[in-house]
Every structure is written in structure tokens, then in C-alpha cells.
A and B are shown apart, each in its own frame.
Chain A
Amino acid sequence: DQQVKQNSPSLSVQEGRISILNCDYTNSMFDYFLWYKKYPAEGPTFLISISSIKDKNEDGRFTVFLNKSAKHLSLHIVPSQPGDSAVYFCAATDSWGKLQFGAGTQVVVTP
């Protein structure tokens, strides 16, 4: 049973506009959430994270929002750039190191 869900398999956005990626989870014990970016045939790279005690974390063009009551988090990328075209994975953990991943969202940034 998938505990972390990314319901949008793909997202197309124009360069310079905002990309919004969504993620839902079912396990209320999750207390730490991460976003990873992945290019084809490469390992994922860590992008940004948020603890359950916060509702927002910002790092440059990337902002993650957490809504615990809705068990929902989102990643905003502003402005989107061509190099942002990749698969983005949402992940969550409730214990030391065991991450549960969503299925990923393919982002395509068009000129």
C-alpha cells in the first residue's frame, strides 16, 4: 500500500513561470519530508526538506509547503528554468532513515 502519492505523473510549464508539484501521504507518523530531483540514468539528488514542526521551508528558487492536517505537501519552483526538467520525487520518513517515496512527477520546462 503506497503511503506517499504523487498523483500527477507529468507537468509541463513555461520557462520563467511557477512549477507546483504536489504530494499526499497517508501515514500520520511521518515527521520529515524531502524532495529529490532525478535525471535519467542517474541517482536522485537531494533538493529540499521540511520537518513536521514547520509549514514552510525556502531555499533559493525552491519552496516546500507542508499542510499536516491535510497530509499534503507541495514544492514550488520559481522561476522555472530549462535545467529544472527532471523527475521529482517526494519522500517521507517516520523513523531513522527509512524513506517512503512517491512515484515521481516528470517536469518539462519549455522555452
Chain B
Amino acid sequence: DGGITQSPKYLFRKEGQNVTLSCEQNLNHDAMYWYRQDPGQGLRLIYYSHIVNDFQKGDIAEGYSVSREKKESFPLTVTSAQKNPTAFYLCASSGGQDSYNEQFFGPGTRLTVL
């Protein structure tokens, strides 16, 4: 089954701790993205990557970091510098034999910082 997986589904962390969210895709997509959704708001782009070993900041990159060492994987680290980390995080990918404009989303990770 081709798709995007995010783990874990729910994540709890203490304030001041860094936490890494996993995102894996087997769609052979070149591009991958991280979004954040807050209640009553749309999705906001955190980081994106069009090719391996290259990534760009999105609209709200402060307090986050990413890596793209493999085509299939695009982990997101929420650092202690992120002021409001509690949110629903969504990973997406596009490209390959599909349109680059049409992004496919994973199931999301809900991060709660206590």
C-alpha cells in the first residue's frame, strides 16, 4: 500500500524538551512538506523539501528544524525555542508520477506540550 505514515499519532512532551516527529512516504515523491494546524485555522507551512539534502523555510519555520537525508523520510524537530508547540502536525508529499501541485497528506501527529 502506497502512502504517507506519521508516527506517533499522539505525542506528549514536557515544556523545554525537543521532540522529533516522523514522516515516511513510499510514493516515490520528490517533494515533502510539513504543516501545522491550529483550531479554527488553515494549514500553515513550516518547512518543505523538493529534493534530498535540500529544504526551505516555509511561513512559520521559527522554532523548528528538519532534515532530508533520504527521499522517503522528512523528520521534523520541534525545539524548545518554539513558543506554542501544541498543535496538529501534518506531513505531505507530491511529485513523482503525480502532479506536484496535488499534495498527499499523512494522518497527522497531535503534539501536546505540558
A interface residue numbers (CB < 8 A to B):
2, 4, 6, 9, 32, 34, 36, 41-46, 49, 89, 91, 93, 96-99, 101-104
Contact = CB atoms under 8 A, between A and B. Distances in A.
Interface residues of B, number: 30
Main secondary structure of the interface of B (DSSP, over half): strand
B90 A43 contact: yes
Contacts of A43: 4, 6, 90, 92, 105-108
Nearest to B103: A99
B41 interface: yes
Contacts, number: 67
Shortest 6 CB-CB contacts between residues of A and residues of B: A43-B105, A101-B42, A101-B43, A103-B42, A32-B101, A97-B31
B110 interface: yes
A63 B107 CA distance: 26
Interface of B: 4, 6, 31, 33, 35, 40-45, 48, 50, 58, 88, 90, 92, 94-95, 99-108, 110
Contacts of B43: 44, 89, 91, 99, 101
Given A6-B42, A9-B40, A46-B104, 18 more contacts: A34-B102, A41-B107, A41-B110, A42-B107, A43-B90, A44-B105, A46-B103, A89-B42, A91-B43, A97-B31, A97-B50, A97-B100, A98-B45, A99-B101, A101-B42, A102-B42, A103-B40, A104-B41
A84 to B, nearest CB: 19
